[in-house]
Amino acid sequence: MTTFICLLPMIPIRKEPAHKSEQLSQLVFGEKVSIIGADREWVRIKTCFESYEGWMEINSLTEEKEEDLRPGLVIREPFLEVEKGAGRFVIPSGSEIPQPDDRGNFQLGGSYFRACTKPRTDLKEPFDHAGEFLRAPYLWGGRTAMGIDCSGLSQLVYKIHGITLLRDASQQAGMGREIKSLDDAVPNDLLFFSDDAGAITHVGLFMGDGKIIHASGSVRIDRVDSRGIFREELNRYTHQLHAIKRLL
């Protein structure tokens, strides 16, 4: 099966083969997909990272080359500036690139690029990486600092740590080891929240000391207890705690 690669900063993954269709997720620079269906200029794809399915324009993708199979690294900073020819653009955190040479050069999908600064190699706590996205706007299906949703945030910071989370909060809730009580939770545990019917609708990262970082309106830090998330400016609870999972 032929694999394709994203050489743009980001490509939307749609629910249906149309630009006006709901954005389910996003593919970022260097991530790969396999094609499992087609509808004119649109292709149904499955991501190689977490096996998520949706629709993309085939013209947005580049066929993978043999050299793309080399081990690489995951970008840890919110954005990394990259040069291609005479032009420059930025790629978001979570992008996958081959290890650059001493001058920052790397090859991907048959094209040559140069990282304008040396990619970061520091590895912070997942919640500290999430903190670099504070005030990033909420965007349904988003996975970058220009717009991100709750499960996109948890998936991204865990990817930086080499752990693959599934895409949606309801899927992530089925992963990891269950922690019975918030009193037993440790920083970086995932906290899941449900609606009145018990369906998982939200996820965030526990920071310890009764705090959670999550994407709700924007990436923000709020108080959390055994009942749920409390928004001080609203003076009320906004999310009901359902489950706690540990993956680290």
Q: Where are the domains of the chain?
A: 3-66, 67-115, 126-246
pTM for the predicted model, two decimal places = 0.96
Span 66-119, pLDDT tens digits: 877 777 899 999 999 999 998 999 999 999 999 999 999 999 999 999 999 999
**Confidence check: pLDDT of 35 > 90:** yes
pLDDT attached to residue 68: 77
Contact 29, 96 (CB under 8 A): yes
**What is the distance between the alpha carbons of residues 131 and 129, in angstroms, rounded to a whole number?**
5
pLDDT class of 168 with cuts at 50, 70, 90: very high
Contact 202, 192 (CB under 8 A): yes
Hey, CA dihedral for 180, 186, 189, 191, is it positive or negative?
A: positive
SS3 103: coil
**Looking at residues 19-26, what average pLDDT do you find?**
98
pLDDT attached to residue 13: 98
- CATH for 3-66 is 2.30.30.40
**Confidence check: pLDDT of 17 > 80:** yes
Give the containing element (helix H, strand E) for 92: strand 87-92
Span 173-231, pLDDT tens digits: 999 999 999 999 999 999 999 999 999 999 999 999 999 999 999 999 999 999 999 99
Identify residue 79 by its one-letter amino acid code: F
Hey, CA dihedral for 60, 13, 1, 175, is it positive or negative?
A: positive
Span 130-145, pLDDT tens digits: 999 999 999 999 999 9
Span 52-69, pLDDT tens digits: 999 999 999 999 988 777
- CATH for 126-246 is 3.90.1720.10
* Burial 126-137, CB ≥16 within 10 A → b, else e: bbbbbbebeebe
**Confidence check: pLDDT of 43 > 90:** yes
pLDDT attached to residue 49: 93
**What is the distance between the alpha carbons of residues 53 and 55, in angstroms, rounded to a whole number?**
7
Q: Would you say how long the chain is, in residues?
A: 248
